[in-house]
Structure 1
Amino acid sequence: MSVSLRAAEAKDCFAICEIYNFYIQNSVVTFDEQSMEVSQWEEKLSYLNKQKFPFIVAETDNGEILGFAYVAPWRQKSAYRTTVEDSIYLRAAATGKRVGTKLLEELLVLSKQAGIKEVVAVISDSGAESSVRLHEQFGFKKQGHLAKVGFKFDRWLGTILMQKSL
């Protein structure tokens, strides 16, 4: 299976929404609990494009979107302007096939080109061990652990904070 990466476009938002909603409904890797609408992803894509932040998709030769990755502002206060939080999500069938590796590698290159200095990963402390390993492969360092900051599927969840300087 050949996979190429490219900038996300509005036409990709249906697939992006489908991928993300799977994780909302079936996992604790996202703390969102309500399914998102395609229009919300269109708005997010437009906002991130205006900020000149990378938002990319992994696509097969036949046009199937296997995953996506983007960076978004870490915090809204202006002093944080060169710090972002990354997000990477894959179709279940694409896990373990290095699609996430390709996405994160390209996302970091594009982020550096965009003038970003720090990338923060906020990762669920339950069920996201592969995400921790992926980020470690790219030099992210664990900076902290926040316990019991989320509650989903009748259980408390924490987050692992990881960071990489570009």
Structure 2
Amino acid sequence: MSAAEIRPALEADLPLVTEIYAHAVRFGTATFELIPPDLAEMTRRYQALMDGGFPYFVSVLDGGVVGYAYAGPYRPRPAYRFTVENSVYLAPSIHRRGIGLQLMQRLIAACEARGYRQMIAVIGDSANAGSIGVHIRTGFEMIGTHPNVGFKFGRWLDTVMMQRALGEGASSLPPG
């Protein structure tokens, strides 16, 4: 097995991105979506992020996309314009191999280069130790937990809130 390549996502990557996300929706608690979006919807979401100038990366291993990560707006109101929310998903066969960490590191660097000052992680399921661990390893701090806010697979689920300063964070005013 070769080393994973992290590169900007292309529209041609979206069929595999859609498969990875569909698996997470159907079998996991990292996302609170209940019905996997189809390729057309995933393309619409991708295009909205591209139109907004947000970073979106894929990890390619042995010629196939095995994971992806992107940042998008944290909230739509203008006061949040220097804050992004991240997402990272991996194919189930690739968990615990450092690819999520590589994707997060690349995503953080790209967000810092774009002048963002804070990154928020909203992690589905407080038992999601892998995601929480990757976020801790990339400098995120625990902000809090919203207990029992989602209901999936016949049980209540928490969301874990984590945050990381980007670049100068709040130590200086943003430009302009």
Query: What's the TM-score bracket when you normalise by the shorter of the two chains?
Result: over 0.9
Q: Corresponding residue for 1:139?
A: 139
Q: Corresponding residue for 2:54?
A: 53
Q: Corresponding residue for 2:13?
A: 12
Please tell me whether the aligned partners of residues 126 and 160 of structure 2 are also in contact (alpha carbons under 8 angstroms): no
Unaligned runs of 5+ in 1: none
Please tell me whether the aligned partners of residues 4 and 58 of structure 1 are also in contact (alpha carbons under 8 angstroms): yes
Please tell me whether the aligned partners of residues 28 and 124 of structure 1 are also in contact (alpha carbons under 8 angstroms): yes
Post-superposition offset of 1:39: 1.0
Q: Corresponding residue for 2:3?
A: 2
Superposition pairs of residues 19-38 of structure 1, within 5 angstroms = 19-38=20-39
Looking at structure 2, the residues matched to 11 and 48 of structure 1 have their Cα atoms a distance apart, in angstroms, of 15
User: The residue matched to 1:148 in structure 2 has which SS?
Assistant: strand
Please tell me whether the aligned partners of residues 83 and 117 of structure 1 are also in contact (alpha carbons under 8 angstroms): yes
**Count of residues in correspondence between the two structures:** 165
Segments of 4+ moved more than 3 angstroms: none
Looking at structure 1, the residues matched to 80 and 130 of structure 2 have their Cα atoms a distance apart, in angstroms, of 28
TM-score (norm 1): 0.96
Q: Corresponding residue for 1:107?
A: 107
Superposition pairs of residues 70-85 of structure 1, within 5 angstroms = 70-85=70-85
Work out whether 1:155 is the aligned partner of 2:155.
Answer: yes
Post-superposition offset of 1:14: 0.4
Post-superposition offset of 1:41: 1.3
1:69-112 CA distances to partner (integer Å, 9 max, x unpaired)?
00111111111111111000001111111110110000000011
Quick one: percent identity of the two aligned structures?
32
User: The residue matched to 2:46 in structure 1 has which SS?
Assistant: helix
Q: Corresponding residue for 2:69?
A: 69
Q: Corresponding residue for 1:123?
A: 123
Q: Corresponding residue for 2:164?
A: 164
Distance 1:163 1:126, change over 3 A: closer
Name the aligned partner's letter for residue 50 of structure 1. Answer: D
Please tell me whether the aligned partners of residues 49 and 72 of structure 2 are also in contact (alpha carbons under 8 angstroms): yes
Looking at structure 1, the residues matched to 162 and 74 of structure 2 have their Cα atoms a distance apart, in angstroms, of 12
TM-score (norm 2): 0.91
1:8-53 CA distances to partner (integer Å, 9 max, x unpaired)?
1110110000000001000111100011111111111111111111
Please tell me whether the aligned partners of residues 28 and 127 of structure 1 are also in contact (alpha carbons under 8 angstroms): no
Looking at structure 1, the residues matched to 96 and 138 of structure 2 have their Cα atoms a distance apart, in angstroms, of 16
Please tell me whether the aligned partners of residues 29 and 126 of structure 1 are also in contact (alpha carbons under 8 angstroms): no
